[in-house]
Amino acid sequence: MLLRLAWRNIWRNKRRSLIVIGSVIVGVIATILMDALQNGMIHQMLFNQINLNVSNVQVHKKGFKDKKDINNFISKPAKVETIIKNQPHVKFYSKRVITFGLLSSTDNSSGVYIYGINPSQEKSVSIISKSIVKGKYLDASDGREIVLSKALAKKLNVTIGDKVVGMANTPSGSIGSDVFRVVGIFKTASSEFDKTTVFIPIVSAQQMLNIPGKIHEFAIITDKYENADIVSKALQKKLGKKYEALSYNEILPLLVLQMDLYKQLLIIVNLIIALALIFGIINAMLMAVYERIREIGVLMAVGMKNSKIFSMILIEALIIGVLGTIFGIIFGYGINALLLSGGIDLRWFAESLSSFGVGAIIYPKISLENFIQIITIIPLVSVVGAMYPALKAIRLEPVSAIRYV
């Protein structure tokens, strides 16, 4: 009956209650959309990195992650490969030779990471093969061909068919160099990656660097990206101390840190929204109490305990909060679903976004954290906001309440 009383009380002043519920709905929609956008952007940054070259798990000789020295190669790739092949959750892997070197055209030169890859393996691990804007991707493990980005091609003033010279240190300290013909030009969402990464066939890289049969990295894609940590730990155990098996979490600590920071920011944003809502609720409930002072006096006179009157007012606010939350979530998810189908086109900001490694189209993604925060914070805030008005109500002496007309 208390619930029924509270429910009917809410609808006595429909307009006021709807305004409060509406403000809760708007608040909930705002946090859902903000979260979806922000969280979507961070996830996109992460997945872009994963898809470009980070993959889910990397295996190197110990120390390669911190020092990409030509000498830090895996000397027995076949043995490691067998272990990786037999590891559960591993879906794809690709062998890579990686070194820092200089790429020169007749006009200019640029310091770059030279990736020696096996195209058929690499296609399953990285999106570069799908990011070709001109020409073609590499198609063999050998041959003097190179794929580089549009930005780099512009800097070096080369195009498809032109020749460039690659140069890098060999393990002995001498300089290895070779001439490559540009066969493909790519463009990704990350301008930083584009400026600094080129791809050549793995055998050609081994020849140029004088490390026949050796590689620097296994890039692994797991069945689900959430399994990266399981796989990296298992591999580390099997491979032993001479190797490092790292999940993307360890390879991209800044992005992971950013995700953590974002989660904290989310709490702050939600608390700010909650703070804004609490004043609306205090105000509305105070008005509701003042309007009903006489009636509250009658409730006191017929023997309703203060604690019951107090809870009645809290329940009213709770219902308002819960209704606002439910409809806010429905509308928020609805709007989000509409946006999700096409993504949000931020092409105007593409230039600045690409320096963060984000594409021009953001796909919103609602975080579970936000959902949990919404359904706990908002109803809680409604109840907290009603406490002061409810206290006001029960501080009245019944007679002064009844007199109040």
What minimum distance in Å lies between the beta carbon of 389 and another protein? 18
Considering the rule CB under 8 A, would residue 295 count as an interface residue with another protein?
yes
Rank residues 5 and 265 by Cβ distance to another protein and give the closer one.
5
Considering the rule CB under 8 A, would residue 290 count as an interface residue with another protein?
no
Q: Which of 226, 234, 200 is nearest to 50 (CA)?
A: 226
Residue from 294, 345, 376, 391 binding another protein (CB under 8 A): 294
Q: Are 54 and 292 contacting, i.e. CB atoms less than 8 angstroms apart?
A: no
Considering the rule CB under 8 A, would residue 18 count as an interface residue with another protein?
no
Considering the rule CB under 8 A, would residue 293 count as an interface residue with another protein?
no
Residue from 223, 260, 351, 397 binding another protein (CB under 8 A): 397
Phi and psi, residue 136, nearest 5°: -140, 170
Considering the rule CB under 8 A, would residue 301 count as an interface residue with another protein?
yes
Residues between 89 and 128 with contacts to another protein, criterion CB under 8 A? none
Considering the rule CB under 8 A, would residue 14 count as an interface residue with another protein?
no
What minimum distance in Å lies between the beta carbon of 398 and another protein? 5
What minimum distance in Å lies between the beta carbon of 12 and another protein? 6
Distances (CA, A) of 296 to 15, 315, 318: 22, 15, 19
Q: What whole-number distance in Å separates Cα of residue 358 and Cα of residue 306?
A: 57
Residue from 303, 341, 342, 368 binding another protein (CB under 8 A): 303
Considering the rule CB under 8 A, would residue 287 count as an interface residue with another protein?
no
What minimum distance in Å lies between the beta carbon of 386 and another protein? 18
Considering the rule CB under 8 A, would residue 304 count as an interface residue with another protein?
yes
Q: What are the strands, taking DSSP E only, across 297-382?
A: 344-345, 361-362
Pairing of strands 344-345, 217-222: unpaired
- DSSP type of residue 57: E
Q: What whole-number distance in Å separates Cα of residue 394 and Cα of residue 390?
A: 6
Residue from 3, 8, 79, 140 binding another protein (CB under 8 A): 8
Size of the site for another protein (CB under 8 A): 24
Q: Identify the three-state secondary structure at position 173.
A: coil
Rank residues 267 and 301 by Cβ distance to another protein and give the closer one.
301
What minimum distance in Å lies between the beta carbon of 395 and another protein? 10
Q: Which of 203, 43, 189, 179 is nearest to 128 (CA)?
A: 189
Considering the rule CB under 8 A, would residue 62 count as an interface residue with another protein?
no
Q: What are the strands, taking DSSP E only, across 143-249?
A: 145-149, 163-169, 175-186, 197-201, 217-222, 243-247
Alpha-carbon torsion angle 248, 259, 45, 121, nearest 10:
10
By CB under 8 A, name the binding residues for another protein: 1, 4-5, 8-9, 12, 294-295, 298-306, 308, 397-400, 402, 405
